[in-house]
């Protein structure tokens, strides 16, 4: 297929009037990084945006077996507040983020916390952590004793988190 400049040159030589269609100027959407593309491919794994997280909390309350359990607030912890704290990563749910910036996904980790093994939910949107937990599940390596550590800071000054194994050099996990 001749280029537009070749068509224009041929038209000029022959005396024909040729209309050259305008080039498409629609912007291309930004390319997805490999983690986002992988997660989008796991649609069955991602909790629907319109699924109501409050519904899970209501179900937890309705399934409670004691007055203490009914009246205990359900707290969701943030990964940044858990740096250096050992826990057993039991499982996770991929969630779609409602924020415009950052990763379009985050994970809600089910974490068994010391000293009594109480299960807490820990949210984390760091891409490396998301990739780690997805791979751990794929390897059949859950549950696993872990802790969050920081590795530098982002361009915005946010500490970058990752999971690491709770090592024996740190002493035995308190659970």
Alpha-carbon gap, residue 144 to 165, rounded angstroms = 8
- pLDDT, tens only, 50-85: 455 566 667 778 888 888 878 876 678 999 999 999
Total domains in the fold of the chain: 1
User: Is 113 contained in some domain?
Assistant: yes
Structural domain of residue 119, as residue ranges? 76-170
- Percent of the chain surpassing pLDDT 70: 59
Q: Is this structure's pTM higher than 0.85?
A: no
Question: How is residue 1 written in tokens?
Answer: 């297929």
* Residue pair 120/75 in contact by the 8 Å Cβ criterion: yes
Task: Give the C-alpha separation, 108 to 95, whole Å.
Answer: 7
In a domain, 159, yes or no: yes
> pLDDT tens-digit profile of 100-131?
666 778 899 999 888 888 888 999 999 899 99
The pLDDT of residue 48 is above 50? no
Any domain includes 149: yes
Maximum distance among all Cα pairs of the chain, rounded to whole angstroms? 91
- Kindly state whether residue 155 falls inside one of the protein's structural domains: yes
**pLDDT at residue 79, rounded to an integer:** 93
36 belongs to a structural domain: no
pLDDT band with cut points at 50, 70 and 90 for residue 143: very high
Q: Please give the pLDDT value at position 159.
A: 84
pLDDT above 90 covers a percentage of the chain that reads 28
Judge whether 1 lies within some domain: no
Place of tokens 């912007």: 27
| Residue 116: inside a domain | yes
* Residue 104 forms part of a structural domain: yes
Cα 78 to chain centroid distance, Å, stands at 13
């Amino acid at each position: 297929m001749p280029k537009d400049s070749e068509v224009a040159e041929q038209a000029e030589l022959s005396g024909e009037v040729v209309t050259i269609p305008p080039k498409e100027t629609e912007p291309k959407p930004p390319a997805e990084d490999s983690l986002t593309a992988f997660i989008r491919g796991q649609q069955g794994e991602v909790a629907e945006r319109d699924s109501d997280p409050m519904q899970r909390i209501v179900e937890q309350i309705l399934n409670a077996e004691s007055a203490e359990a009914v009246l205990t607030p359900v707290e969701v912890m943030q990964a940044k507040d858990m740096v250096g704290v050992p826990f057993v990563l039991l499982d996770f749910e991929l969630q779609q983020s409602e924020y415009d910036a950052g990763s379009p996904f985050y994970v809600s980790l089910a974490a068994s916390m010391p000293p009594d093994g109480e299960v807490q939910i820990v949210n984390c949107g760091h891409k490396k952590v998301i990739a780690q937990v997805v791979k751990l599940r794929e390897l059949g390596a859950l549950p696993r004793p872990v802790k969050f550590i920081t590795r530098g800071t982002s361009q915005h000054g946010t500490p970058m988190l990752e999971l690491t194994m709770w090592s024996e050099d740190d002493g035995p996990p308190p659970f």
